[in-house]
Structure 1
């Protein structure tokens, strides 16, 4: 059973999502919140598998709520953000806070179900037409990541991590950031799916990443891909 918490300041939106999810036997809506503060309280109390959080809410917004919920020791809750394409400056921060992906407010019912199931399974929802565009938009506006060297001239720990990737791992990371699935990467590089998974596991370990969302962010920060025009 997938236990879902819905947080949106619009009662109609909350009710619509709750009613749709309630039609599925394996999904249970365990709580509804009208703002971020209530979402945090209910998440602590109910421990849902997925917290579906609107980014724009009064008081404590969805990103701040996600950051608080996901920082709880031992939490298994995953955050799925509700957004629209006119949101830009919040996207990078939501992923940096640990959100597993984004769902457009005008998403279809199948897209809603798919998003909840993907995130509940511990995967990142990185549809190229949604998350890649949003991340790219904000990275273009965000000042370049500063990576100063220590006084001795030695590289920082983060630079060392980035440099530790092999050429093939760098290639795989680049393709992840461009929205390619494991199968697409395997086909493009003429390698097996198992080999792709091995490369990804090594990338995540070397760069201390937890999911593909963080991998996309790091690829942009490393300059492996450019924001879309």
Structure 2
């Protein structure tokens, strides 16, 4: 990973995030912008493997950046970094293609660890949000994956990718081709109406996988 874009309008926070990113990835070059328009201009000119986005920007919502990346640069690891912990914002961010959702309240060490896990293919959430989701699922109880229309093979693959397995890992574990894995994942996404592995992880937890 060589480049990161940080979209944050508070200079002190932006510089703090840049220091954390550069500690996690010493080879990285981080660019700071403070508005939605600035971010879109940078992204139109160049791809960034990682983008960290605040949702509340002076000229709009960081969700628009996530949607742009989902359409134009869907291999980018897009991470929300915000103070907004409401359920509707969380769901909107993952629906727009976020690979992670972190709250600014966490420490630099926690954020660094999260970013390293993200690069390895694992969806990331701040601990407080993860606990809230777990509490929610405990109260509502797991649903049956079969009720979603998933086949037994798709349920197997959903369980694996929710634990951070890459397509190659799933292929080797199940003794099927990577193309077949990709086809199953596409089918899973369509049946669950999702667009990211982070959302897949939510459903795996919901199904008790």
Residues 138-163 of structure 1 deviation map (CA, whole Å, 9 limit, x = unaligned): xx9xxxxxxxxxxxxxxxxxxx9932
Counterparts in 2 of 1:128 and 1:206: CA distance versus 1, 3 Å:
farther
The counterpart of 1:181, out of the listed 146, 149, 163, is 163
Aligned-CA RMSD value: 3.9
Unaligned runs of 5+ in 2: 140-145, 166-171
Counterparts in 2 of 1:136 and 1:6: CA distance versus 1, 3 Å:
farther
CA shift, 1:85, in A, is 5.8
Distance 2:196 2:6 in 1: 23
Higher Cα Rg: structure 1 or 2? Answer: 1
CA shift, 1:7, in A, is 0.7
Match in the other structure for 1:45: 45
The answer to which structure has the higher helix fraction is: 2
Unaligned runs of 5+ in 1: 141-159, 184-192
TM-score, structure 1 as length reference? 0.63
Residues 115-148 of structure 1 deviation map (CA, whole Å, 9 limit, x = unaligned): 33333444422566534736987xx9xxxxxxxx
Distance 2:99 2:27 in 1: 20
Counterparts in 2 of 1:42 and 1:133: CA distance versus 1, 3 Å:
farther
TM-score, structure 2 as length reference? 0.68
CA shift, 1:92, in A, is 0.5
Match in the other structure for 1:165: 151
